[in-house]
Amino acid sequence: MRRKSEAFQTFKSYHAMSEKHTGQSIQSLRSDNGGEYISNDFKSYLSSLGIQHQLTVPYTPQQNGVAERMNRTLLDLVRSMLHSRSIPKKFWAEALATAVYVRNRSISSSLPRYATPFHLWNETSPDVSHLRVFGCPCWYTVPRHRVQKLDPRSRQAMMLGYSTQSKAYRVWDDNMQKVVISRDVKFAEQLGDLAHKPKLAEDHPSGSRKAVTFADTEPLRTANQGGDESDTQHNTVLEHPENTPTAADPSTVGSAPLRRSQRVSQPPERFSPCNFVANLDAELLNIGETRKSYSDAVSGDHSEFWKPGIAREESCLTRNENLELLQERTRYVRSSLQVHIQSKKRRPKSSLGCTWMPTNARC
């Protein structure tokens, strides 16, 4: 409603909607002595429908205290919504509509416990998961038929409220200077007002641009001729490109010390002293049984193949200082090593695993 003269038509629309929605009729109407309520057309309409029109005493708004208190509550909400986000006053109507929208979905002490005006009017609980901060920055999706291939798919706007005719948001596009109703909107409620965003480096009045110099290009010159001492030194460096290190200057490559890792290198688990594996060729040995001790390996069949393998393993252990040799070989072999031979099925390119595992040695 833009003008007070539209009060009569607005009341007629509300009257028809309320009776259609609730199935009940309006019994009385209380208002002040404003000219928009006491016009001849308004009086004739109320008289024809049997609605009692109650008027307050002039300059006595307390007689209509419920309506006046709600007006103050809504005005306080609008004032805080506009000033908290530094929003221009021209959006007071959008803030008022949003305040009413949220107020109708909030509990009140004058209503039954945990009841809201929306619940009493529609007989269902309201959904508040879609509520957003008024005035926060947002980005709405532009319809595909309105953009070209290289155009941005979204535009920045400001959240104004909720549409009463569709499940969508009302956002203000400052570039287009109009209100846009969109369903696909992304909000940045934690960023706050767009006017409070930190300025970029190139927009700062006292900042100076950094010059990026390449091998085959001239150095950039700053446009700030009246800056402070730091700006003067910066301009001096730019006037002598030979003093400025470039990406292609080989003298600056090895100037910085190389960082060495302080982590202690650890060998893989499979190379630990407790897990030595010696693979013997199954095609040459062709052994199907299992050797349980050193004496069985060196005195049984195919001992000529076992002895070189045992000697190589012993030399490796000794060379790597993984085991301490004893004077008696028989005692060393019997107390320190056990031979575990895993026999496998004979197949092409298969091997027979022989694992030497120290039992008493310190690993």
pLDDT on residue 294: 75
Q: What is the CATH number of domain 69-196?
A: 2.30.30.140
Distance between CA atoms of residues 138 and 184, nearest Å: 10
Taking residue 48's Cβ as centre, other Cβ atoms within 10 Å add up to 8
* Local confidence band at 154 (pLDDT 50, 70, 90 cut-offs): very high
| C-alpha to C-alpha distance for 186 and 158, rounded to whole angstroms | 11
118 vs 215, more confident = 118
Q: Does 218 score more than 60 pLDDT?
A: no
Contacts (Cβ under 8 Å, ≥6 apart) of 101: 161, 162
Q: Where are the domains of the chain?
A: 4-55, 69-196, 201-242, 270-358
Q: Read off the tokens for 147.
A: 């953009």
pLDDT tens digits for 30-89?
999 999 999 999 999 999 999 999 999 999 999 999 999 999 999 999 999 999 999 999
335: CB partners within 8 A, 6+ apart: 326, 359, 360
Q: Which amino acid is at 344?
A: K
CA 13 – CA 108 distance, rounded (Å): 27
pTM attached to this predicted model:
0.52
Mean local confidence (pLDDT), 280-308: 65
- What does the chain come to in residues? 363
> Each residue of 99-141: pLDDT tens digit?
999 999 999 888 998 899 999 999 999 999 999 999 999 999 9
Least confident interval from 55-69, 275-289, 316-330: 275-289
Distance CA 117, CA 22 (A): 14
What are the residues facing 278 on neighbouring strands?
Answer: 354
Quick one: average pLDDT of 333-359?
42
Q: How far apart are alpha carbons 31 and 37 in whole angstroms?
A: 7
Whole-number pLDDT of residue 255: 56
Checking if the pLDDT of 195 tops 70, the result is no
Mean pLDDT, all residues of the chain: 74
Per cent of the chain over pLDDT 70 is: 63
Q: Which two three-digit tokens encode residue 79?
A: 């004032």
Confidence band of 191 (pLDDT split at 50, 70, 90): low
Across the range 5-20, mean pLDDT stands at 93
Q: Which residue has the tokens 């109507």?
A: 93
Give yes or no for residue 353 having a pLDDT over 60: no
